[in-house]
């Protein structure tokens, strides 16, 4: 090897050699793909939903039947055959499942997080954490079947008059499904609380109970709230379990009324599956209503995710 070779080697431009540029652009394209996905979701949902509403349909050059946006957002009857598209009937069912699953998942999830972060011995953690992961990993179809076949009969013996399809069983399984999500994000927040704070508490004579409830939980509150919102957004978007267990008859129910949980209803996601399984002609009004519901769902979950992000960032205690 001559000296020139060595000098060449040592002074070569490694940043902009073709190989470096090629690999860097490949990685960049991969990262940009996520933006492309989001943009295409938004564009697709907005353009297809625009063809559905009578205000915007002429802009898209669509002739034929359309639906009024006011009726869509305020109507409480969902009957595709009669062209009555009141999304509130679907939203009320989704809301009820969200409330029902929240009643189960939020307290249990936070309690699990406190136990794992403050009380559990490392040996028990090593067993409990994978078990909770399995809870989140079971397919939602399986949860739906469990709700319909095993949980509903139990409910029917306790509360006679409950229908075969009911929102209560759907809420229970969705609640179980999202416990791990609440637990793992809250636990991360609690583990991030510095040990000095706990030691200070013990130094003041506090018991473990006082330290957990009086110091750790308040310090991790922003993380806990953001886990709540993320889990609820997951409950709203949950599809197969509610499709199987909650029924297929759309009706507007009062979410505050506990007895309404014994009835069946049609949540948004289940309505989308039902539309697809029925005979819808490509490009028809029913087909476009699919995208209108999809847009509603996407906006609700997106707003919740953004709020959760904001809470986690803005109200995080800096240590």
Partner 1 sequence: MATDTRSGDIESFGTVSKTVGTVFRYVLLAATLFGIVVLGALLVYVANDAIQPLTADPGWHLTFLLTLVLPTLGVGAYLYRRDTDALRFGATTVGMTVVTLMFAGGVGMIFVDILSPFVFLAYAVALALPFALVLALQRRARRIPFFTRAGATTLAFYVSLLGVPGPVGAVAGLPTIVPGVPALIQSLPTVPLGWMSLTATLGLGVAALVGVYAARVRDRRAGLFAGVGALAAIGAAGAVGPAFGVTSVPAVVLASVAVVPTATYAAGTAVSRPERRIGLLVPAVVIGGALVGEVAVGALGFAGPQSWVDWQFLTSAHSRTAVDAGLYPAIGGSILLMVTVALLSFPLGVGAAVYLEEYAPDNRFTRIIDVNISNLAGVPSVVYGLLGLGVFVTYLGRSTGTVLIGGATLALLILPIVIISSREAIRSVPNEMRQASYGMGATKWQTVRRVVLPRAFPGILTGTILALGRAIGETAPLIMIGAPSVLFSLPTGFTSKVSAMPLQVFAWSSLFASEDFYTKAVPAGVVVLVSVLLAMNSIAIVLRNRYQSEQ
Judged by CB under 8 A, does residue 99 bind partner 1? Answer: no
Question: CA 134 to CA 101: how far, in whole Å?
Answer: 18
Residue from 209, 279, 314, 318 binding partner 1 (CB under 8 A):
209
Judged by CB under 8 A, does residue 103 bind partner 1? Answer: no
Name 81's bridge partners: none
Which residue stretch of 60-68, 70-78, 192-200, 240-248 sits at the interface with partner 1 (rule: CB under 8 A)? 240-248
Judged by CB under 8 A, does residue 240 bind partner 1? Answer: yes
Residue 67 or 273 with smaller CB distance to partner 1: 273
- Least distance in Å: CB of 86 to partner 1? 20
Q: Which helix (H) or strand (E) holds 73?
A: helix 69-74
Rounded alpha-carbon distances, angstroms, from residue 51 to 78, 241, 292: 19, 30, 9
Backbone angles phi, psi at 312, to 5 degrees: -60, -35
Judged by CB under 8 A, does residue 225 bind partner 1? Answer: no
Residue from 69, 88, 302, 307 binding partner 1 (CB under 8 A):
302
Rounded alpha-carbon distances, angstroms, from residue 129 to 9, 189, 208: 51, 16, 22
Instruction: Provide Rg for the chain, Cα atoms.
Output: 26
Residue 15 or 82 with smaller CB distance to partner 1: 15
Judged by CB under 8 A, does residue 167 bind partner 1? Answer: no
| Contact in structure between 222 and 172 (CB atoms under 8 Å) | no
Q: How many CB atoms lie within 10 A of CB 150?
A: 11
Residue 279 backbone class (left: φ over 0; alpha: ψ -120 to 50; beta: rest): beta
Three-state secondary structure call for residue 77 = coil
Show the binding pattern over residues 6-35: x = contacts partner 1 (CB under 8 A), - = does not: ---xx---xx-xxxx--xx-xxxxxxxxxx
Which residue stretch of 41-49, 194-202, 219-227, 250-258 sits at the interface with partner 1 (rule: CB under 8 A)? 41-49
Residue 157, burial from CB neighbour count under 10 angstroms (0-12, 13-18, 19+): exposed
Which residue stretch of 71-79, 110-118, 155-163, 194-202 sits at the interface with partner 1 (rule: CB under 8 A)? 110-118
Which residue stretch of 76-84, 192-200, 214-222, 239-247 sits at the interface with partner 1 (rule: CB under 8 A)? 239-247
CA dihedral 60, 87, 286, 283 (to 10 degrees): 20
Residue from 111, 197, 221, 307 binding partner 1 (CB under 8 A):
111
- Least distance in Å: CB of 257 to partner 1? 26
Judged by CB under 8 A, does residue 214 bind partner 1? Answer: no
Residue 40 or 199 with smaller CB distance to partner 1: 40
Residue 239 or 262 with smaller CB distance to partner 1: 239
59-88 binders of partner 1 (CB under 8 A): none
Judged by CB under 8 A, does residue 198 bind partner 1? Answer: no
């Amino acid at each position: 090897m001559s000296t020139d070779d060595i000098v060449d080697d040592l002074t070569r431009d490694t940043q902009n050699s073709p190989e470096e540029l090629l690999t860097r652009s490949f990685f960049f394209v991969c990262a940009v793909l996520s933006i492309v996905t989001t943009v295409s979701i938004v564009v697709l949902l907005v353009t297809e939903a625009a063809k559905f509403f009578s205000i915007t349909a002429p802009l898209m050059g669509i002739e034929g039947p359309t639906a009024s946006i006011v009726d869509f957002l305020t109507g409480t009857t969902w009957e595709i055959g009669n062209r009555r598209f009141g999304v509130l009937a679907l939203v009320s069912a989704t809301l009820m499942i969200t409330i029902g699953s929240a009643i189960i998942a939020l307290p249990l999830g936070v309690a699990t997080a406190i136990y794992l972060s403050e009380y559990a011995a490392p040996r028990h953690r090593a067993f409990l954490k994978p078990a909770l992961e399995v809870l989140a990993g079971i397919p939602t179809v399986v949860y739906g079947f469990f709700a319909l076949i095993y949980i509903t009969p139990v409910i029917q013996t306790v509360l006679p008059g409950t229908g075969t399809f009911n929102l209560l069983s759907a809420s229970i399984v969705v609640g179980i499904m999202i416990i791990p999500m609440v637990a793992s994000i809250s636990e991360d927040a609690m583990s991030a609380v510095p040990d000095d704070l706990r030691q200070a508490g013990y130094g003041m004579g506090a018991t473990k109970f006082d330290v957990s409830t009086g110091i750790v939980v308040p310090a991790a509150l922003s993380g806990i709230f953001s886990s709540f919102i993320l889990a609820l957004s997951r409950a709203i978007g949950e599809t197969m379990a509610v499709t199987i267990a909650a029924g297929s008859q759309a009706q507007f129910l009062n979410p505050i009324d506990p007895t309404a949980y014994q009835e069946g209803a049609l949540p948004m996601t289940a309505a989308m599956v039902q539309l697809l399984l029925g005979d819808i002609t490509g490009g028809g009004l029913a087909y476009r209503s699919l995208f209108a519901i999809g847009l509603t769902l996407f906006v609700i979950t997106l707003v919740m995710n953004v709020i959760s992000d904001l809470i986690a960032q803005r109200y995080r205690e800096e240590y």
